[in-house]
Amino acid sequence: MWSDWPGKPFKHVFDIHTNPQFRLKSDLLSGLTVALALVPEAVAFAFVAGVDPIVGLHAAFIVGLITAVFGGRPGMISGATGALAVVLVSLVTQHGIEYMYAAVALMGVIQVGAGVLRLGKFIRMVPHPVMLGFVNGLAIVIFLAQLGQFKTADGNGDMVWMSGTPLFTMLGLVVATMAIIHFLPRLTKAVPASLVAIVGITVTVLLLGLDTPSIVDYLRTMSGNPEASLAGGMPSFSIPMVPLNLETLFIIFPYAIILAAVGLIESLLTLTLVDEITETRGRGNKECVAQGAANITCGFFGGMGGCAMIGQSMINIDSGGRGRTSGITAAVVLLAFVLVASPLIEVVPVAALVGVMFMVVFGTFEWSSFRVMTKVPRSDALVIVLVSAVTVMTDLAFAVLVGVVVSALVFAWKHAKVIHVFPHFEEDGTKVYSLRGPLFFGSTKNFLELFDAKNDPDEVVVEFLHARVSDHSAIEAIDNLGERYLNLGKKLHLRHLSPECRLLLRKAGNLVDVNVIEDPTYHVATDVLA
């Protein structure tokens, strides 16, 4: 369990109120807060992907609503994300937005397939150091993303850093927002502190007439259109206008695979994190199906696709959102902003949202990991730092893959050294090698060196009751061992193999003499908890 680690990692533990009215109120207010934070994120990621902001807003609404209703993790927020946007931009640039819609729909089909095949359970195989690196790396990414809000357009339209009065005003409002979020819960928890901070800073800016960028200013700066607005219509059904042939499939399939993998990894890791924070358990396979259904819908209703968002999920949890109502509220309010209330949301200062996200960064980053790294093996500390760095430099999916691979190699290296035998003789003169430890590609060389075929008697038994045959390399090693004894006119028996091992060892043919009594059963991953 993660709580067994020094300095229990995820400290966000909240009292879960059983009063339905209290929970409904918390979910509604939390959803409103999340909706305010979703707007600039959706707009920004749309620009990253090279599409119109309304495409990002529609995606945030569709993905957020469907996953909130049908997903496996109540309280988790999904929407348009940067992790997918950086993959989509290449497809949009080379082939156009219609191919993006087709790829997003195919991504959804792949994700639904992953859920139906119950692959969500394998997120449990991600080592804890990788989880810590993922959390810390993502916190750094969120922080760096907010720094772009401190830039403004110069006379030539180039983005430059703020300076002078605009910078000090921006910083002052950010600090004020963070102070409200930090201190208000000590006075009252009747309303989410983040919502009070956003509304309070917005009213202050309007009353004092402060010159600081608002959401609509950000939109117009990024788009280069002085008339740009968040106003838009409902998502409408449209079949992607692409040729239905193999050439189209060859174009979109690689993107769909990457998008599906990135989306599921980010969603399932966020689900795991929310599980730990709320001390509850989500359903990974159900979340895979919901994410896939949401992305299929995006492909046919003009959205850029999406997945779980750790930043907005943390805002929701910190604001008291626990149920599906919080995610539904966030999606519906976001759509209301687009349809009828864009003038209200457009005046919200960017500084208020930056302050909220900075507090998310402080709450998300696992500060105790600095202390943990001095108490765990160096290899685990290396994985934490490595995954954090790769997350910042590349993307989440690649970082997790690197972390898992490095962790697996470290594990293999350590366990390659632990295989050994305890030889003894039975009354009939048969020599028994009682094997201890895992037999896999890393330990096969040591395994073959444990036997003395030339000096052994004619009958030799290898006892596998306390051993595990793991892969094809192990099978080859056993087959080679059998050939050694066969060439010397001796017979080798394998005893107490598990059913999985016996299935793998069919290749050994008549060399295998299996005693099925008390054979152990191993389960690497099951569907029970997914």
Final residue of a structural domain among 334, 361, 382: 382
Taking each helix axis as running N to C, give the angle between helix 378-393 and helix 128-147, from 0 to 180 degrees, rounded to the nearest 10: 30
Angle 17-1-135 (CA atoms, 0-180°, nearest 5)? 75
DSSP character for 524?
S
**The pLDDT of residue 484:** 87
Tokens (6 digits) for 160: 């430059």
Under the banding of pLDDT at 50, 70 and 90, the label for residue 444 is confident
Does residue 190 sit within a domain? yes
Using CA atoms, how far apart are residues 454 and 187, in angstroms rounded to an integer?
Answer: 81
- Across 19-47, average pLDDT: 81
163 CB burial (10 A radius; 0-12, 13-18, 19+): exposed
**The pLDDT of residue 2:** 39
Pairing of strands 459-469, 307-308: unpaired
For residue 297, is pLDDT > 70? yes
**What domain count does the chain have?**
2
Indicate whether 321 and 459 sit together in one domain: no
H/E segment holding residue 371: helix 369-372
- Which amino acid, residue 348? V
What one-character-per-residue DSSP string does 378-400 give? HHHHHHHHHHHHHHHHS-HHHHH
Indicate whether 250 and 127 sit together in one domain: yes
Does residue 399 sit within a domain? no
Indicate whether 161 and 210 sit together in one domain: yes
For residue 145, is pLDDT > 70? yes
Final residue of a structural domain among 382, 398, 430: 382
Does residue 370 sit within a domain? yes
- Which amino acid, residue 331? A
Does residue 161 sit within a domain? yes
For residue 519, is pLDDT > 50? no
**The pLDDT of residue 6:** 39
3-state SS record for 48-91: HHCCCHHHHHHHHHHHHHHHHHHCCCCCCCEECCHHHHHHHHHH
Indicate whether 104 and 250 sit together in one domain: yes
Beta bridge partners of 161: 151
Final residue of a structural domain among 353, 382, 411: 382
What is the rounded end-to-end Cα distance, in angstroms, of the chain?
Answer: 17
Token pair 């090698």 in the structure block, residue:
433
CB-hemisphere CA count at 13 Å for 157? 6
Tokens (6 digits) for 410: 């470290």
Indicate whether 348 and 440 sit together in one domain: no
Using CA atoms, how far apart are residues 296 and 290, in angstroms rounded to an integer?
Answer: 10
Under the banding of pLDDT at 50, 70 and 90, the label for residue 374 is confident
Does residue 212 sit within a domain? yes
Indicate whether 340 and 443 sit together in one domain: no
Instruction: Supply the CATH number for residue 472's domain.
Output: 3.30.750.24
Under the banding of pLDDT at 50, 70 and 90, the label for residue 12 is very low
Percent of the chain predicted with pLDDT > 70: 89
Indicate whether 144 and 266 sit together in one domain: yes
- Across 402-406, average pLDDT: 88
Coil vs helix vs strand at 337: helix
Indicate whether 433 and 331 sit together in one domain: no
**The pLDDT of residue 173:** 95
Indicate whether 262 and 344 sit together in one domain: yes
Indicate whether 288 and 437 sit together in one domain: no
Indicate whether 82 and 190 sit together in one domain: yes
Residue 331, domain extent: 2-7+18-226+242-382
Does residue 235 sit within a domain? no
Does residue 527 sit within a domain? no
Indicate whether 442 and 307 sit together in one domain: no
Token pair 């006892």 in the structure block, residue:
463
| pTM given for the model | 0.70
Pick 219 or 63 by higher pLDDT: 63
Tokens (6 digits) for 529: 């908890």
What one-character-per-residue DSSP string does 129-158 give? HHHHHHHHHHHHHHHHHHHGGGEEE-TTS-
Under the banding of pLDDT at 50, 70 and 90, the label for residue 15 is very low
- CB of 497 closer than 8 Å to CB of 519: yes
For residue 528, is pLDDT > 80? no
Using CA atoms, how far apart are residues 65 and 13, in angstroms rounded to an integer?
Answer: 26
Does residue 68 sit within a domain? yes
Beta bridge partners of 425: 431
- Which amino acid, residue 38? L
Token pair 């050439």 in the structure block, residue:
247
Closest to 324 in 3D by CA, of 358, 292, 287: 287
